[in-house]
Amino acid sequence: MAYSYSPFVLLLLLLLLPFSLSAAVATATGHEYTAPREKMTHLHFFFHGRFASPNATAVLVAVPPGRNATFDTFGAVIVLDDMLRDGPEASSKLIGRAQGLTAQASLEGTHLLMVVNFEFTAGEYNGSSLAILGRFVPDVSGTERSIVGGTGKFRMARGYTVGNVYIWTASYFVLELDAYIVHY
């Protein structure tokens, strides 16, 4: 007598097959990793810096030996604690600080290497930060800088910022920044 499954048993086998297969895969290695979905966040804000005393937000801390250097002398290093605001006015809401340093790292022209942390202190990203690495070219629009990492909501971040000169005077400046951040 031929051995045959009843239609009901066949249906049950078909329904259970995917589960038994995936269970077999899971127990086979136990080390499957599913990467979280990435998202893109676009932030638009303003970077305010003040060269002049009192209340300067940038100080020249090191100059090449034997030179009366300014910030654009090759080798000069500045430490900065600039302000991130949600608008271009000095009274615009403070949303974070840009803390780090620049070094005039170009023998020709003024192309500062900028290594700075954007530490957000208000709003949705309060407590999170972005690590920025790139060129700072005074008074030039369209400069891109790399986002090489982040913390908090910006863990594992990468991306770039684009800066446009909004105000540039001898005593202070305002840059308009767009940050395009890929993160989890």
Ligand X SMILES: *[C@@H]1O[C@H](CO)[C@@H](O)[C@H](O)[C@H]1NC(C)=O
- Report residue 24 as tokens: 């077999």
Comparing CB distances to ligand X, the nearer of 50 and 145 is: 50
3-state per-residue secondary structure call for 67-133: CCCCCCCCCCEEEEEEEEECCCCCCCCEEEEEEEEEEECCCCCCCEEEEEEEEECCHHHCCCEEEEE
Task: Name the segment binding ligand X (CB under 6 A); options: 41-49, 62-70, 138-146, 162-170.
Answer: 62-70
- Asked whether position 54 contacts ligand X by CB under 6 A, the answer is yes
In degrees and rounded to multiples of 5, residue 34 shows phi and psi of -110, 115
Q: Applying CB under 6 A, which of residues 6, 27, 29, 68 lies at the interface with ligand X?
A: 68
Q: Which amino acid is at 27?
A: T
What is d(CA 114, CA 162) in angstroms, rounded to the nearest whole number? 14
Q: How many residues bind ligand X (CB under 6 A)?
A: 9
Over its C-alpha atoms, the chain yields an Rg (Å, rounded) of 27
Nearer to ligand X, 149 or 152 (CB): 152
What is the dihedral sign for C-alpha 137, 139, 145, 151?
positive
34 or 55: CB nearest ligand X:
55
Residue 107 identity: L
Smaller CB distance to ligand X: residue 83 or 114? 83
Environment class of 95 (CB within 10 Å of its CB; exposed 0-12, middle 13-18, buried 19+)? buried
Near ligand X by CB under 6 A: residue from 4, 6, 34, 55: 55
Instruction: Please list every residue from 94 through 153 that binds ligand X, using CB under 6 A.
Output: 121-122, 126-127
Beta carbon of residue 116, minimum distance to ligand X (angstroms, whole number):
20
Shortest Cβ distance from residue 89 to ligand X (Å)?
14
Name residues contacting ligand X, limited to 6-25 (CB under 6 A).
none
What is the nearest approach in angstroms of ligand X to the Cβ of residue 65? 9
Which residues are near ligand X by CB under 6 A?
A: 54-55, 66-68, 121-122, 126-127
